[in-house]
Amino acid sequence: MTSSLNIYTDFFGLTERPFSLVPDPDFLFWSEAHSWAFTMLEYGIVTRAPITLITGEVGAGKTTLVHHLIRTMEQDVRVALIANASGGRGELLRWILQSLGEPAAGTETYVDLFSRFQQLLIDEYAAGGRVVLIFDEAQNLSREALEELRMFTNINANKDELLQIVLVGQPELRDTVNRPDLLQFAQRVSSAFHLAAMDRRTVAAYIAHRMHVAGAQHEVFNAEACDAIFDVTGGVPRLVNQLADLCLVYAFTAEIPHVNALTVEVVLSDGVFFPARRPVIAAVPPTPRTGTA
């Protein structure tokens, strides 16, 4: 049985679905906020900042930026991407070592794990490389885990950093880092940025961009449809993707070659779109924070 999703791509002359929820760097849209966020990520890596912090609402595009960053890493950088890490300091080290491709037996003590991790960093440095740990969904890290990461940044050789840490998470991560009892941790954050939701104009450009990348040869979403999508989603990219994808399915089913405000209204009235989200603060001009501690 042929999927209706595949049929709608043919109907609109697309080579693939333009609004998949899977993070895909090929569809990365460089809004002003996303450009600033990536600049801060690059700044942290290039300057060998101990800790870089990127926050944003659920579905703001943080993970897509991370995957693009990994694509651009130089060969002398050994990267570990760690998602949804949890547990105490021993468990954290196991997450890290496994993400670096190193076995971490349950019988090993914390001292054993730390010794192997430290030696790995030293070996990489001796070979002219360095290690970057990227924690996605870092808001799940406990205070104990964050303090452990701070201690890891003390492993260095003279003036050179052997280890860099990138924390990517939801807004509560920034709130946690700003706690008085994590002052020492906050002082290690050399590059930070909060990725806000897109504004009305940016949502329209975002939709047009993704349609173009997917092979669209003409405008499918008119201005009224883009406005309606913004009003419902608040400019959160993941929600925009969900609603826009449903609109394409509905337009295809009705054999209409364009998506207009009525299409959006029908999707919403049928209750097939569930916009579960926290209130989103309107986008403001980016205010990156940089510095060294």
Higher pLDDT, 88 or 101: 101
- What average pLDDT does this structure show over 140-145? 90
64 phi and psi, to 5 degrees? -60, -40
Predicted confidence at residue 57, as pLDDT, reads 87
In the predicted structure, residue 3 carries a pLDDT above the cut 60: no
Higher pLDDT, 35 or 86: 35
Percent of the chain scoring above 70 in pLDDT: 90
Quote the mean pLDDT of the chain: 88
Task: Give the pLDDT band (50/70/90) at residue 84.
Answer: confident
CA distance 264 to 224: 9
DSSP string computed for 78-101: EEEEEES--SSHHHHHHHHHHHTT
Task: Give the pLDDT band (50/70/90) at residue 280.
Answer: very low
Task: Give the pLDDT band (50/70/90) at residue 281.
Answer: very low
Predicted confidence at residue 158, as pLDDT, reads 63
pLDDT per residue as tens digits for the range 211-257: 999 999 999 999 999 999 999 999 999 999 999 999 999 999 999 99
Higher pLDDT, 185 or 286: 185
- What average pLDDT does this structure show over 2-18? 82
In the predicted structure, residue 4 carries a pLDDT above the cut 70: no
Task: Give the pLDDT band (50/70/90) at residue 183.
Answer: very high
Task: Give the pLDDT band (50/70/90) at residue 177.
Answer: very high
pTM: 0.83
In the predicted structure, residue 279 carries a pLDDT above the cut 90: no
